[in-house]
Amino acid sequence: MHSGDTACSTTSETSKTDARTTSVGEITVLLPSWRLHLEASNLSPRTIRAYTDDVALLVAFLADKGMPTAVRSIRREHVEAFIVAELERTAPASAARRYRSLQQLFNWLDEEGEIDASPMTKMRPPKIPEKPVPVLSDDHVRSAAGLPDLHPHSYGIRSRMT
């Protein structure tokens, strides 16, 4: 009877150890520590939320594509595949923001010794195309502001003042 108890407890202890070993280094396990670091850095709650939401998108992408989620196994190609998917799904500015969020995570992981080097070290953020801002004509500005037409041949304010 005692030998059965010992075998059962040994098996139980082994599965606990295996569970800890497989989860060590997983992004999801490290996120609470990173969040604490962000809070201790006195970042705004909105910034922290944006960073953590962006990393959650990465984790979901990696898992969905069968890519590694252990931080030591994530390579540049995995991050680039995520950024490409984001560029296809969202605006370039959103993908660029996600790039910056991931950059912060991997820099922290490097500083903490969780990884030997960031997979993003030599990466560049996606380019955001410039969108020209439409400029209003003088007539549109006057009309919107309710100002009289000051054209030299019109009867504007000066004509009324005399």
Q: What's the CATH number where 39 sits?
A: 1.10.150
Q: Which pLDDT band holds residue 152 (cuts at 50, 70, 90)? A: low
- 117 in a domain, yes or no? no
The answer as to whether 143 is a domain residue is: no
Phi–psi pair at 70, nearest 5 degrees = -80, 130
Residues 6+ apart with CB under 8 A from 86: 57, 94, 95, 98
Beta bridge partner(s), residue 70: 26
pLDDT at 7 over 60: no
Residue 69 has pLDDT above 50, yes or no: yes
Summarised one tens digit per residue, pLDDT across range 85-139 is 999 999 999 999 999 999 999 999 999 999 999 999 999 999 999 888 888 777 7
**pLDDT of 37-58, one tens digit each?**
999 999 999 999 999 999 999 9
- Neighbour-count burial for 8-28, b at 16+ CB within 10 Å, e otherwise: eeeeeeeeeeeeeeeeebebe
Count H helices and E strands in the chain, helices first.
7, 0
Residue 159: C-alpha distances to residues 149, 150, 152 (Å): 11, 10, 11
Question: Residue 141: inside a domain, yes or no?
Answer: no
The residue segments making up the domain with residue 57 are 21-111
Least confident of 10-19, 27-36, 73-82: 10-19
What token pair was written down for 93?
A: 């500015």
Give this prediction's pTM. Answer: 0.68
As a whole number, the mean pLDDT across the chain is: 82
Query: How many separate domains does the chain show?
Result: 1
Positive or negative, the Cα torsion across 143, 145, 147, 152? negative
Coil, strand, or helix at residue 121?
A: coil
DSSP state of 156: -
Query: Is residue 53 situated within a structural domain?
Result: yes
Dist. CA 14–CA 8, nearest whole Å: 10
Q: For residue 23, give every residue at least 6 positions away whose Cβ sits within 8 Å of its Cβ, in sequence order, or none.
A: 29
| Inside any domain, residue 5 | no
